[in-house]
């Protein structure tokens, strides 16, 4: 189980600074594992002040719970999501956390060997906590902190925690705070017109669908971007996923207990088997028939309207349509396959954004499309090599009607080629993993 434990043990005798020994663990993985100075022995807790820790978690509760990780991390985002930002002259573990609907993602980065400082953190980890378990663990930690922080901080912290609990208990306020956080705002800092527009959209579509689309274009114009994409999608390519969803069968039952790419690959393979396709390339006619989509729309030019992301729109009583934003045929194939993956993930909800966001939903889409269009077994049989050249990869991309990036991604994810073949620096196994590489894998 991915249970989160945050233990605060007061330093005895309790001093005026409210010092604690902090231990953070997820299951058996201890995120506060460290060595002090030149000591050869590892410790599992960190001595730190309690008040900055408690205020940071309380101040950023909504954002930790609901704000996703953007493609580009701003300094402001890092201040709210990276524990090193707590500061106050103390060393903190390089732990980053963010919301992904029904779970909260966490990345821990170890300090490199030889670092000069009072402590060196040792844990590299990529994991997640079910959202409900995260809330319980943070609530428990904050309650404990209230009795430990310095006396002059207890009333301010108690007032902050009461306000937070009141907001969470009020359905309307909680919805407002959630949408503020999705768009990267602190409480009471989200523009009123933005939040009101998104709440109006949630009357038409599921909150999860609006959140996903809003997060893809997060900021003060996210509602405007979503409305523009909706308008464009109404004139998009018509599709009918009925047969595809029927053939996917029980594999359409997505579970949070498995990583998104695991269920995505299983669903794609089940669909291929039902089609009698095995691991061979999915030609244009076969794909367009599967999607209930004209071959012309699948390979045609992008729509004239500018849109921030592709979109699947399935209004009740009307034909389902796709807004495809890619120009090249193999990119359009991939977007359309992702749209089918989104319908599987969401139970064919009325709205699905297809974006660059790193959420579980988007990861499912990408993994499903890759497995549907470029199955690993078929790719390896075609390459017939565990060390394919760039020319081999280009030929495989042409063979499966996908981009070279898709082929490389499949090979990297299956550990056939190194990550540097995607244009990233080579990571030696013994070296601490850089944050960006960890985040890409999360």
Same domain, 241 and 314: yes
Give me the residues paired with residue 77 across strands. none
Q: How many domains does the chain have?
A: 3
Same domain, 195 and 265: no
Within a domain: 437: no
Same domain, 150 and 297: no
Same domain, 183 and 134: no
pLDDT of residue 441: 52
Same domain, 410 and 330: yes
pLDDT of residue 235: 87
Within a domain: 100: yes
pLDDT of residue 112: 87
- Burial of 38 by CB count in 10 Å (0-12 exposed, 13-18 middle, 19+ buried)? exposed
Same domain, 370 and 272: yes
Same domain, 61 and 185: no
Within a domain: 73: yes
Locate 196 and state its tokens. Answer: 């009101």
Same domain, 183 and 52: no
pLDDT of residue 437: 52
Same domain, 216 and 287: no
Within a domain: 441: no
Last residue within a domain, chosen from 233, 258, 275 = 233
Stated pTM of the model: 0.88
Same domain, 250 and 180: no
pLDDT of residue 423: 46
Each residue's pLDDT tens digit in the chain (442 positions)? 578 999 999 988 766 778 999 999 999 999 999 998 777 889 999 999 999 999 999 999 999 999 999 888 999 999 999 999 999 888 999 999 999 989 999 999 998 887 777 889 999 999 999 999 999 999 999 999 999 999 999 999 999 999 999 999 999 999 999 999 999 999 999 999 999 999 999 999 999 999 999 999 899 999 999 999 999 998 888 999 999 998 887 655 565 667 888 899 999 999 999 999 888 999 999 999 999 998 888 887 655 456 789 999 998 878 899 999 988 888 999 999 999 999 999 988 999 999 999 999 999 999 999 999 999 999 999 988 888 888 999 999 999 999 999 988 888 888 777 655 554 332 333 344 454 454 455 5
Opening angle at CA 297, ends 296 and 303, nearest 5: 130
Within a domain: 431: no
For residue 77, what are the domain limits? 4-165
CB of 349 closer than 8 Å to CB of 242: no
CB of 192 closer than 8 Å to CB of 179: no
Same domain, 85 and 112: yes
Within a domain: 226: yes
Within a domain: 331: yes
Within a domain: 170: no
Same domain, 192 and 213: yes
Between CA 434 and CA 419 the distance in angstroms is 12
pLDDT of residue 428: 32
Q: What is the SS3 string spanning the chain? A: CCCEEEEEEECCCCCCCCEEEEEEEECCEECCCEEECCCCCEECCEEEEHHHHHHHHHHCHHHHHHCCCCCCCCHHHHHHHEHHHHCCCCCCCEEEEEEECCEEEEEEECCCCCCCCCEEECCCEEEEEEHHHHHHHHHHHHHHHHCCCCHHHHHHHHHHHHHHHHHHHCHHHHHHHHHHHHCCCCCCCCCHHHHHHHHHHHHHCCHHHHHHHHHHCCCCCHHHHHHHHHHHHCCCEEECCHHHHHHHHHHHCCCCCCCHHHHHHHHHHHHHHHHCCCCCCCCHHHHHHHHCCCHHHHHCCCCCCCCCCEEEECCCCCCEEEECCCCCHHHHHHHHHHHHHHHHHHCCCCEEEECCCCCHHHHHHHHHHHHHHCCHHHHHHHHCCCCCCHHHHHHHHHHHCCCHHHHHHHHHHCCCCCHHHHCCCCCCCCCCCCHHHHHHHC
């Amino acid at each position: 189980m991915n249970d989160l434990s945050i233990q605060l043990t007061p330093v005895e005798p309790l001093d005026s600074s409210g010092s604690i020994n902090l231990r953070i663990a997820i299951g058996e993985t201890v995120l506060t594992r460290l060595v002090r100075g030149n000591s050869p022995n590892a410790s599992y807790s960190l001595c730190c002040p309690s008040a900055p820790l408690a205020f940071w978690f309380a101040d950023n509760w909504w954002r930790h719970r609901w704000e996703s990780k953007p493609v580009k991390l701003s300094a402001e985002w890092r201040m709210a999501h990276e524990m090193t930002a707590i500061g106050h002259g103390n060393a903190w573990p390089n732990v980053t956390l963010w919301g992904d609907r029904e779970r909260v993602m966490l990345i821990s980065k170890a300090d490199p060997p030889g670092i000069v400082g009072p402590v060196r953190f040792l844990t590299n980890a990529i994991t997640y906590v079910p959202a409900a378990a995260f809330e319980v663990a943070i609530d428990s930690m904050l309650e404990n902190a209230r009795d430990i922080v310095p006396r002059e901080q207890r009333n301010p912290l108690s007032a902050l925690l009461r306000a937070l609990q009141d907001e969470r208990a009020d359905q309307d306020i909680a919805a407002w705070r959630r949408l503020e956080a999705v768009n990267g705002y602190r409480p009471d800092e989200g523009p009123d017109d933005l939040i009101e527009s998104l709440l109006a959209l949630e009357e038409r579509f599921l909150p999860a669908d609006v959140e996903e689309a809003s997060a893809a274009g997060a900021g003060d114009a996210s509602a405007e971007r979503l409305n523009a994409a909706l308008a464009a999608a109404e004139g998009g390519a018509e599709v009918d996923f009925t047969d595809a969803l029927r053939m996917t069968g029980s594999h359409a039952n997505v579970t949070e207990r498995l990583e998104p790419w695991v269920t995505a690959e299983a669903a794609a393979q089940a669909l291929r088997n039902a089609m009698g396709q095995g691991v061979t390339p999915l030609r244009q006619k076969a794909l367009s028939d599967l999607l209930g989509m004209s071959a012309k729309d699948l390979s045609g030019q992008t729509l004239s309207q500018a849109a921030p992301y592709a979109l699947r729109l399935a209004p009740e009583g009307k034909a389902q349509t796709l807004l495809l934003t890619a120009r090249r045929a193999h990119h359009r194939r991939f977007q359309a396959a992702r749209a089918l993956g989104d319908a599987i993930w969401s139970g064919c909800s009325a709205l699905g954004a297809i974006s660059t966001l790193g959420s579980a939903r988007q990861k499912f889409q990408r993994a499903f499309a890759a497995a549907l269009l470029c199955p690993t077994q078929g790719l390896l049989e075609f390459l017939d090599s565990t060390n394919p050249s760039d020319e081999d990869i280009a030929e495989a991309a042409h063979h499966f009607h996908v981009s070279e990036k898709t082929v490389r991604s499949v090979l990297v994810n299956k550990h056939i080629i190194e990550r540097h073949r995607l244009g990233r620096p080579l990571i030696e196994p013994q070296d601490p993993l850089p944050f960006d590489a960890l985040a890409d894998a999360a």
